[in-house]
Amino acid sequence: MRGFTNERGERVPGLHQFGAVRSTVVYDIFKFTCDDDGGHARGGALPGRAAYQAQVHAYIEQFGGEPGAPVVLDFEDILLTELSGRAARHALDLWKRLIIWTKETVPGSPVGMYGFDWKPGNRELTRELYEDGLLDLFAPEAYWWPDQTRTTWTDRFAAAVGHARALAPGKPVHPYFHPHYIGGGELPPDVWSYSVDRFRELADGVVIWEPSTTNAGSPAAGWVSRYAQEWCHVSDAAGPLTVTLGSVAAVRGSTVTARLTVTNVSATATDATPIDSADASFDSPVVPALPPGAAWTCAAGITVPPHHPYSTIPLRLALGAQEVCLGIVVD
């Protein structure tokens, strides 16, 4: 499963350090609407090709979108699931025009439409947007709201994926996800892991939308290390050893000491295992033989460069043949 990230502004986490692809979302700066009379921008005339494409370029620059990475259009007021009658027909025509202009702007990049794909309205009109030369992927909203349960969240996400697979079999589904509840509050570790499992089960990739580490808390409990371990480095789960990182306040231009705990999660004992990293030094270079369920702790010295540009920094470890990546929040 591929990981994508939409990041812009200050204190961005830099998830591409952990393997994510920097992609772009184009917001509705033109305030598109459609009614029975046609399409409008800010209540007036629609933009021409040049004006629209200039804004697409501007968003690619803001997000640092990589060549060939997805570009997703977030024009919620003209989603076909939200309209009916002649207004929906006008929206269909407007979408086709904007998609073509977008593809002209970013040749080689797949283009998607952010939407509420669990809703059933105007399915046949929506199908037209996924014909050859138009939309290349689905980008359904998959955020957590505070009042949702696992059942309600999963039912809605599964419905979105099911509708997408029925409309355009073979086109990838990259849901939009956020490490916090809508309205604030970090997702608990079990909710994060549950969501990742559902994405692996049902989707083809996932986009982390405008993440921030401002409220991430300590790395041991924050979403950054979970992203590093569970997402971009999914091979970690295959090994017998897991690594957790104690709370650490990393500051640019300094060296900090963190406590690493290595646990044998397998059903058999592990042999003594060397631990190595280009990102840290250790007070002991070898993990001793561990019986099932046993843990061992060591100190790791981690240096953060003075001009490190992101609010996280990766800590990559080699435990024998097993590779592990952790994420540390930088102040």
DSSP H/E element including 127: helix 123-128
Encoded tokens for 305: 């460069």
Establish if 208 belongs to a structural domain: yes
Q: Is the pLDDT of residue 147 over 90?
A: yes
**Where does 49-164 show beta strands of DSSP type E?**
71-74, 111-115, 137-140
Establish if 217 belongs to a structural domain: no
Residue type, 199: F
Establish if 244 belongs to a structural domain: yes
One domain, residues 142 and 287: no
Q: Which residue has the tokens 């000491």?
A: 257
One domain, residues 141 and 62: yes
Confidence tier at 230 by pLDDT (50, 70, 90): low
- pLDDT single digits (tens) 36-62: 999 999 999 999 999 999 999 999 999
Establish if 221 belongs to a structural domain: no
> Alpha-carbon distance 61 to 57, whole Å?
6
One domain, residues 65 and 202: yes
One domain, residues 13 and 76: yes
pLDDT for 38: 98
Establish if 116 belongs to a structural domain: yes
One domain, residues 203 and 253: no
Encoded tokens for 138: 């689905």
One domain, residues 57 and 171: yes
pLDDT for 236: 42
Enumerate the β-bridge partners of residue 5.
22, 208
Establish if 227 belongs to a structural domain: no
pLDDT for 219: 43
> Alpha-carbon distance 10 to 110, whole Å?
27
One domain, residues 272 and 313: yes
pLDDT for 215: 44
> Alpha-carbon distance 204 to 301, whole Å?
37
pLDDT for 10: 81
293: containing domain: 236-329
Domain boundary among 168, 197, 212: 212
- pLDDT single digits (tens) 86-136: 999 999 999 999 999 999 999 999 999 999 888 888 999 999 999 999 999
The CATH number that applies at residue 320 is: 2.60.40.10
Domain boundary among 196, 212, 228: 212
One domain, residues 241 and 178: no
Report the SS3 class of residue 94. Answer: helix
Domain boundary among 180, 212, 244: 212
- pLDDT single digits (tens) 190-207: 898 899 999 999 999 999
pLDDT for 324: 87
> Alpha-carbon distance 160 to 157, whole Å?
5
Total-model pTM: 0.89
One domain, residues 249 and 168: no
Establish if 218 belongs to a structural domain: no
One domain, residues 184 and 38: yes
Establish if 288 belongs to a structural domain: yes
- pLDDT single digits (tens) 72-95: 999 999 999 999 999 999 999 999
Give the chain's domain count. 2
144 close to 182: Cβ distance less than 8 angstroms:
yes
Q: Is the pLDDT of residue 223 over 60?
A: yes
Q: Which residue has the tokens 């933009």?
A: 47
One domain, residues 186 and 246: no
One domain, residues 207 and 256: no
The CATH number that applies at residue 159 is: 3.20.20.70
24 close to 58: Cβ distance less than 8 angstroms:
no
18 close to 7: Cβ distance less than 8 angstroms:
no
Encoded tokens for 192: 């994060």
